[in-house]
Structure 1
Amino acid sequence: MESMLNKLRSSMSSAATSAVSNAVQIASQVSNYLPGNPVTREFEATAHVASAGPGLVWKVYKGHKKSTKQDAAIFVFEKRILDRWDKQEREAMLDRLRKGVSQLTRLRHPQVLTVQHPLEESRDSLAFATEPVFASLANVLGNTDSAPTPLPPQLRDYKLYDVEIKYGLMQVSEGLAFLHNSVKIVHRNICPENIVLNHRGAWKLFGFDFCVANQSPADQQPFWPFEEYVPNRQAICQPTLDYLAPEYALTHTLDPAADLFSLGVVIHALFNSGRPVFQNHQDFVTFKRNCCELKNTNTLQLSNIPEGVREEVRLLLHATPQLRPDALQLSKISYFEDVGVKTLNYLDQMFQWDNMQKSQFYKSLPQIIPQLPHRVCVLRVVPSLMQECVNTTMVPFVLPVILLMSERASREEYVEHILPHLKPIMKMTDPPQIMLQLMQKMELLLGKTPPEDVRGDVLPLLYRALECDMQQIQELCLSVIPSCAALVESHAMKNALLPKIKKLCLATGYLSVRVNCLVSVGKILEHLDRWLVMDDIFPFLEQIPSRESPVIMAIIGIFKVAMTHKKLGISKEVLATRVLPFLFPLSIENSLTPTQHSSVMSLIKEMTEKVEAEHRIKLEQLNSIKDEQKALQMAMPTSLASGSTVSTASTATANGSVVSPAEAATDMFAGLGLNQFAGGGGSSASLKPAVSSSAPAPAGNKTQQPKTDVTSTTAPLSMQDKHRMMKEQGLQKQPPLLPSPPAPSSTITKNTQPSSSSSQTSNLTSSLITSNLSMIASPPGAQQQIGQMGGLGNTGLSYGMRPNLTQQPLGTMNSWATSPTQPQSWASPMPHQQPQSQPQPMSLNLGAFDNLLPSQPRPPSMNQMASNFKSAPMMAPLRPMTMIPAPAPVRPLTSSDINDLLS
């Protein structure tokens, strides 16, 4: 793995080094050949791409204008090439070059290379700027002298298509017709070196270094003076001998037909791998001999030339100038009557047509595009169409052709040649057909457009389409959004895309648009955060005003995706409180079909089962935690557990044949888990411990549930609880209120049985005091009220209140019973109730309990004890209670007091 990383690192570093070295090399070349040249003030050269001119002495560099960033080509001639020449020839050559550029600058024609900046001269170079140039025809045919090394990738193995050759030759013919007929100039050096292909592939005339202008007045026959070919002069200082007309050797005359002969040789070279008719090797004697052979053109080998232009080439190569067709005649031969040639020609002349003619041509263009070479479509057709986009009314006619060629183009070609022109079109909103056509091809745009351009240009187009009023555009946009949702950033999704979709869904009057909005939302759920779905999407679904069956099913689909997707999911709380209450009304809509209703109910059942299963698991976990806490508290020492646990015994079940109304009401709720709340006595095991009964079970009852300890609380003990427990333990160690045997039972525990008479006496004594207090101290109304507040029912005080009772002196309790005027504390009625009339205290005969008291030693009788209570002072405590502190002032029990007592 490490070796692979090292290889990758080395390859990347080498590539970076190569790129840097190439940039440095180009910069050094520019600095070498353009030091101080004024062209560098306005233009910047970036890469050497081609060569052109006589002998390919002009180096062509790709560049741009610094102020406008407009693409350009910079032609540079280095004077050091002429260092080996004598001064006279050197100056003559420089004059030729200056003359050629000057003449080129003055000419304005579509088939003549356009000059953007005139010639500038410095000590080391000549330079001027033109429209962007791809290469010269000589470079395309394989002559790469003075061309960059290595060749640029676009020039390497470059082959011309037939339509390019046809249209290029027609363009050169039209250019020559302009020179001969309008300007009255003979070029004199038509050859591949002086035909330049611009960046769109158009053929342009160049190299006017040896041109000759008409010397006759305007009203006379034109005359062009003849210039002799000087064999001893440098070859590049004279016209190229292989393409020169035979008049230079035979008749010593000059007319425009000489340029047509040169064009014939160019045509021969195009179909013969760049070879001219004769190769003279810069020897004028050989040139003369070959010119004599041209008198009989039947001996020429023209088999490689297409048949459609073969005879015209034979005439162009004739030794007699008068037999050669002129440039205008040549441009109108049938060879150029080609669909592709006409298409390219129409595109170049489009500015001359009106909108009706243009629209008809653009409608037929998609049928012609497949017949054209791909390179021609990208480099020739697309730029011509883009020029028409400045006229917005014609964009709907041009855009389908551009999108068609985008499909045929590679990703690199699309990004380089088409996308820069499409970006301004994406911002157009009028006419609406533009947006409609772009929506129909949105899949193509998303597939070939880089992600950064999608975010900057394509997504804003989608936002504008959502706000459009055309239904078709809205539906197309909604169908495209899921495919590009992954490219939408989270903040744009939340603040731009989703609000527009929701607004459209709520405001539209078209059912199909509303359904498409919901379907689009459902498809992009996987790209949203869970909280965004819960807080934004679900409330939006509840706001949808319509309840048609397609809308309902789309809503069901959204909920189903949200519930089943592993990234999202819906919690049981949301299902139970928000989703299910929303879905149940939808399930009874009359617009649903039986199949749709089954789908809705199936989802509701699935959600209900999920809520049930998850909540059951949670409850089982909570109950297991409670059981563990109970088991932990049961394992605590008895001394600590006695203050927090109370023994309880389950009530025996009824076996009689007669069922009371209370029992019948209890049976109604059987199986609902309410037995412990609806049991006898009205006490709840979950609210307070039940008082264990010391009375034996009825004879007829065969079964008795076991007694269990119930904890008072499972929460940690507070400081108040700890003080209370300590006080209770201290009171339990104090002597009993009444004389008792040596070891009385002070508490009732789970495993204690009333087996001895002493324990029976103690229990009966406790029950006696409790029953007396319930009958004497509490009037019937107050007793019922306390039972309602504390859950005591008809059984009197609960066991949990015993510690508070033991703190009160017994004399005080008797005083409550005998003196109705004394203030009552817990037995007094609540403030909001009217106190009922106090019943007269009943006389008690306690002699029946004397037989239950122990005989040795025999304590005073129960009646005597009661009389002693009556004769005792009001607040004087009994002798056994001398150690008990004085009671606190008596006050009514509050609700919190009762809760504390019950806990």
Structure 2
Amino acid sequence: MFAAATSFFARSAISQSYNIGGGPSPSPGSRSSTPGPQNPVSGTSSFGSSFSSSVVIGLWKIQSATHKVTNKRVSVWTFDKRGPDMERLGPAAKERTLEVLKGEASALSRLRHPSILEMVEPLEETRNELIFATEPIIASLELCIPGAGKSASLVELDEVEIQKGILQVCKGLSFLHSSAQLIHSNLCPESIIINQSGDWKIAGLGLTIPLLQPNGSATRWEFPTFDGRVPSYIQRYFDYMAPEYALDEVLNTSSDLYSLGCVIYAVHCKGSPPFKTHGSLSGLRDNAGRPAPGLERLDRDLQALLRSLITRHPSGRPTPSTLPSLPFFSSLPISTLNFLDRTTFTAKTREEKVSFMKGLTRVLDKFSDGLKTRKILPSLLEEMKDTHLLPYILPNVFNISSSLSSAQFATMVLPSLKPLFGIKEPPNNMLTLLENLPMLQTKTDKTVFKTEVLPLVYHALESEHAVVQETALKMVPDLCETVDYAEVQGVLFPRVARVCTKTRILSVKIATLVTFLSMVKTLDQSNLTQKLVPLLSNIRTKEPAVMMATLSVHEAMGFKVDREAVANLVLPQLWAMSIGPLLNLDQFQRFMSVIKKLGERVEKEHIQLLRDSQRLEDRSATVNDGGVNVASFAGTVDFESLVGKVSTPGLPQQNGATGGTPSWEDDVWGSIFNEFSNNTPTLPAAGPRSTKSLSPVSTPQISSRSFISSPPSNFSPAQRSQTNFSPLTPDLPLRANPSFSGSLSPSSPQVKMTQPLSAPSTSSTAPMAGMLSLQRTTPLTPTTSSPPLPPMIPMGGMLAPSPPKAWDSMPNKPSKNDWGDFDPLS
């Protein structure tokens, strides 16, 4: 319980209010415990991303943290009072260390300037640690110097980044010297912090020297010493100390400019200062007045800058306010950044801002991607509040966004663009957004694009400006390829159709027709025939450009919809349009060409349909001189006949089972798959009553309206003379009945339909399923007084009984018993 209570009271308000990120404990910094440079080990990061692991700067351990309520991100600085660095120190050294660290935190809370590290949570002291929170940072400049031999370079600094950072430090020094009346006295790469936005901030203010005491008197000079038993972080770094401070015992704000010159030299020379003193005052005295070595390898303007700063006497050094005017800082990128600085850009007139935004597009390629993302983009997004500047700001925003990842774009840019998607004035805003619609689609998720970005196109289609509508219509074809079909059919197509019906501007009308042409391949036949065709028919203008654009849409539809729609909907409209009074010869011939092509398509497909229908009719029922040949599956198919035996036309064939007279069932498969032989059928001789079926015969050449008018050819002369066959009367309509049974005469064989009649089908079994089976129920006995056969006519290639009233008027009407189970009144 005592340990839990101790732990509770040892917790600070910062640790209770923030979620402090963890990570591997880093090694001490370059000057945390012993003099001389050491290689730091720190986490890696990049501008614009949260710092996920801890970093060590001097004696401070810095970790990223997030507020538990507001989600605000900060960097938490902690110092462990019980750490190994403090255990080696004596009481006086410990007290001096805590005094410097507390003074550093106190100065940060007291001094507020854009170039001074911003404190968010004030210093708190617990039993075990010192803790405070600042703005999110990445690392110190010492850890980011290019080629410094560190274990990891946290920031890729280019020349523009360095120039920008130096100017920011100059502003901070100007504030310290003029407003705060302080001398930093320990400016070095370790005391310059790079925040998450890439800005250089002054820190390490624990050793500042006030120019005046509280009573108004001048501050006395103190002899600089270096104690190896005390952490180097709380001592002035001799390698960056101005010679007049150590040798002339002078307190001058210009000493910080000498230190700044050493910092600039180290940044360009892989972290090495111009002179190494090794913590010795005599070494500083020996190097005083000597020119910095290796300057000839640097740029000419940089050489001039360093020679003006690294001098023996302070009188010739520039001040923080005059330093930016030197040629080294006169490059176009630096001038651009200076103009865009938030502290001065807001004071510019609108005309100056417009001119700047127009020229910025041409110089953006001179900046690194990181600098554009960290410095330029945030300033542009902030200025987007002025809608009159949007046409000039947006091109620069999209130029920078092209190098962003989808996640960066979604978090940094898209929230600022969303309010603009519904703003219709000025129209240049929408034009710029529409021109960059492909980028918006690639940088956003599919769902986000549909819900957040696609309304931009819908609002543009409703615009009163023709150029905006035409630009939006040009975007529609690509959208049809990428968005889902439901969105195209239910939302996009109706909105384009509304524009087409309402607009009175010729160019917009033509643009909608061009859009319809691209949408033909996406829309289904139902939308084309039920929505698009009526829409095109309502176009009343006779302008040749509109008519030719409409012709192209009809042509594309004519090869996608079915032939009935082409014949009934498309071709009539084309014929009506082709005789427009304003069309010239070439345009009329173009109409005729399309009409002929579509007409040939209809003709070809319809001929093929009729051929297929005729083939089905021929297979379902044919008539021969010798009788009616109808195929059926009513009987049992013999396996030998199915797989091997083929009946010989005109010759009797032995039944596989009994060897008797061949039956319909024995030849049903051969008749069907051999396209119904055209040979004359052979009927069995008259004899006892038999239930065998007639052999199937097919004669496609005989019309379906030809019927039996003479006895079969296999009848004997006596049978021919005694038999009276009457032709069928095709004048009376027949009535379909599922089963038909009728006798040729009271003493003649009866023919019975054992397969139900059905209409022709297009399935593969339709020819067989629709065939009739004739079955003899009585012997074919010749007679001289046989009444004529019942009147029958073909009906769609099928035989069907006639209506009852036709039979009532016939003499010698057959009785019910003669018809078997057929009821003419049913």
- Alignment TM-score > 0.5, same fold: yes
Partner of 1:717: 737
| CA RMSD between the two structures | 4.3
Partner of 2:588: 597
The answer to whether structure 1 residue 581 and structure 2 residue 572 are counterparts is: yes
Would you say the 8 A contact 1:466–1:477 is kept in 2?
A: yes
Would you say the 8 A contact 1:119–1:128 is kept in 2?
A: yes
Residues 336-382 of structure 1 deviation map (CA, whole Å, 9 limit, x = unaligned): 22222121111112122232332232233223323334432232211
Partner of 2:296: 303
The answer to whether structure 1 residue 806 and structure 2 residue 816 are counterparts is: no
User: Distance in 2 between the 1:620 and 1:258 partners?
Assistant: 105
What is the identity, as a one-letter code, of the residue corresponding to 2:737? L
The answer to whether structure 1 residue 625 and structure 2 residue 616 are counterparts is: yes
- Please list, as runs of the form range in 1=range in 2, the aligned pairs for 1:766-805 lying within 5 A after superposition: 801=807, 804-805=810-811
- Please list, as runs of the form range in 1=range in 2, the aligned pairs for 1:109-128 lying within 5 A after superposition: 109-128=113-132
Query: Which of 315, 321, 327 is the aligned partner of 2:320?
Result: 327
Q: Give the drift of 1:538.
A: 2.5
Query: Which of 396, 399, 402 is the aligned partner of 1:401?
Result: 396
Q: Give the drift of 1:300.
A: 4.6
Q: Give the drift of 1:448.
A: 4.5
The answer to whether structure 1 residue 90 and structure 2 residue 94 are counterparts is: yes
Partner of 1:352: 347
User: Distance in 1 between the 2:424 and 2:217 partners?
Assistant: 59
Partner of 1:517: 512
Aligned in 2, Cα 1:178/1:710: closer, same or farther, shift over 3 Å? farther
Partner of 1:506: 501
Would you say the 8 A contact 1:189–1:211 is kept in 2?
A: yes
Aligned in 2, Cα 1:593/1:36: closer, same or farther, shift over 3 Å? farther
Partner of 2:135: 131
Aligned in 2, Cα 1:230/1:467: closer, same or farther, shift over 3 Å? same
Q: Give the drift of 1:305.
A: 4.2
User: Distance in 2 between the 1:280 and 1:707 partners?
Assistant: 138
What is the identity, as a one-letter code, of the residue corresponding to 2:222? F
Q: Give the drift of 1:88.
A: 4.3
The answer to whether structure 1 residue 571 and structure 2 residue 574 are counterparts is: no
User: Distance in 1 between the 2:338 and 2:534 partners?
Assistant: 61
Secondary structure, counterpart of 2:88 in structure 1: coil
Secondary structure, counterpart of 2:75 in structure 1: strand
What is the identity, as a one-letter code, of the residue corresponding to 1:497? L
What is the identity, as a one-letter code, of the residue corresponding to 1:94? L
What is the identity, as a one-letter code, of the residue corresponding to 1:180? H
Q: Give the drift of 1:511.
A: 1.0
Query: Which of 313, 317, 336 is the aligned partner of 2:310?
Result: 317
User: Distance in 2 between the 1:468 and 1:373 partners?
Assistant: 38
Would you say the 8 A contact 1:43–1:64 is kept in 2?
A: yes
What is the aligned residue count?
A: 655
Larger Rg computed on CA atoms = 1
Partner of 1:197: 194
Query: Which of 25, 38, 42 is the aligned partner of 2:13?
Result: 38
Aligned in 2, Cα 1:364/1:37: closer, same or farther, shift over 3 Å? same
User: Distance in 2 between the 1:95 and 1:460 partners?
Assistant: 60
Would you say the 8 A contact 1:188–1:210 is kept in 2?
A: yes
The answer to whether structure 1 residue 102 and structure 2 residue 97 are counterparts is: no
Residues 205-247 of structure 1 deviation map (CA, whole Å, 9 limit, x = unaligned): 11212223343469x6753653643424221221233222334
Q: Give the drift of 1:558.
A: 2.1
Aligned in 2, Cα 1:884/1:267: closer, same or farther, shift over 3 Å? closer
Partner of 1:75: 77
Secondary structure, counterpart of 1:527 in structure 2: coil
TM-score for the superposition, normalised by structure 2: 0.70
Partner of 2:522: 527
Would you say the 8 A contact 1:54–1:207 is kept in 2?
A: no
- Once the two structures are overlaid, the 10-residue window that deviates more, 38-47 or 173-182, is 38-47
User: Distance in 2 between the 1:61 and 1:531 partners?
Assistant: 63
Aligned in 2, Cα 1:428/1:344: closer, same or farther, shift over 3 Å? same
Partner of 2:546: 551
Secondary structure, counterpart of 2:123 in structure 1: strand
User: Distance in 2 between the 1:33 and 1:884 partners?
Assistant: 112
Query: Which of 55, 58, 65 is the aligned partner of 1:56?
Result: 58
State the identity %: 27
Partner of 2:251: 254
What is the identity, as a one-letter code, of the residue corresponding to 1:381? I
User: Distance in 1 between the 2:220 and 2:469 partners?
Assistant: 69
Q: Give the drift of 1:420.
A: 4.9
User: Distance in 2 between the 1:552 and 1:35 partners?
Assistant: 85
User: Distance in 2 between the 1:344 and 1:178 partners?
Assistant: 20
Residues 511-536 of structure 1 deviation map (CA, whole Å, 9 limit, x = unaligned): 11111111112213333334333333
Q: Give the drift of 1:717.
A: 3.1
Residues 398-418 of structure 1 deviation map (CA, whole Å, 9 limit, x = unaligned): 222223334566777656654
Secondary structure, counterpart of 1:438 in structure 2: helix
Would you say the 8 A contact 2:176–2:183 is kept in 1?
A: yes
Aligned in 2, Cα 1:403/1:708: closer, same or farther, shift over 3 Å? farther
User: Distance in 1 between the 2:749 and 2:264 partners?
Assistant: 132
What is the identity, as a one-letter code, of the residue corresponding to 2:108? L
User: Distance in 2 between the 1:249 and 1:104 partners?
Assistant: 26
- Please list, as runs of the form range in 1=range in 2, the aligned pairs for 1:632-781 lying within 5 A after superposition: 634-635=629-630, 717-718=737-738, 725=742, 759=784, 762=785
The answer to whether structure 1 residue 269 and structure 2 residue 244 are counterparts is: no
Secondary structure, counterpart of 1:259 in structure 2: helix
Residues 141-171 of structure 1 deviation map (CA, whole Å, 9 limit, x = unaligned): 16999x9xx85xxx45x54222222222122
User: Distance in 1 between the 2:385 and 2:816 partners?
Assistant: 109
Partner of 1:611: 602
Secondary structure, counterpart of 1:75 in structure 2: strand
Q: Give the drift of 1:478.
A: 0.7
User: Distance in 2 between the 1:436 and 1:506 partners?
Assistant: 23
Partner of 1:181: 178
User: Distance in 2 between the 1:557 and 1:78 partners?
Assistant: 79
Q: Give the drift of 1:472.
A: 0.6
Query: Which of 475, 479, 484 is the aligned partner of 1:489?
Result: 484
Query: Which of 221, 231, 234 is the aligned partner of 1:234?
Result: 231
Would you say the 8 A contact 2:245–2:255 is kept in 1?
A: no
Would you say the 8 A contact 1:362–1:398 is kept in 2?
A: yes
What is the identity, as a one-letter code, of the residue corresponding to 2:600? E
Would you say the 8 A contact 2:121–2:133 is kept in 1?
A: yes
Structure 1, unmatched stretches of 5+, are 1-31, 642-675, 677-684, 694-705, 735-755, 768-796, 809-882, 886-898
User: Distance in 2 between the 1:297 and 1:457 partners?
Assistant: 64
Secondary structure, counterpart of 2:186 in structure 1: coil
Query: Which of 557, 565, 570 is the aligned partner of 1:562?
Result: 557
Partner of 2:769: none
Q: Give the drift of 1:729.
A: 6.5
Would you say the 8 A contact 1:187–1:208 is kept in 2?
A: yes
Would you say the 8 A contact 2:192–2:200 is kept in 1?
A: yes
Q: Give the drift of 1:175.
A: 0.9
Secondary structure, counterpart of 1:274 in structure 2: coil
Secondary structure, counterpart of 1:483 in structure 2: helix
Partner of 2:242: 245
Structure 2, unmatched stretches of 5+, are 1-6, 24-42, 46-50, 636-660, 665-702, 712-724, 751-781, 789-802, 818-822
Would you say the 8 A contact 2:18–2:66 is kept in 1?
A: yes
What is the identity, as a one-letter code, of the residue corresponding to 2:105? V
User: Distance in 1 between the 2:219 and 2:605 partners?
Assistant: 105
Q: Give the drift of 1:292.
A: 1.7
Residues 473-526 of structure 1 deviation map (CA, whole Å, 9 limit, x = unaligned): 111111112122223222222222111100001100111111111111221333
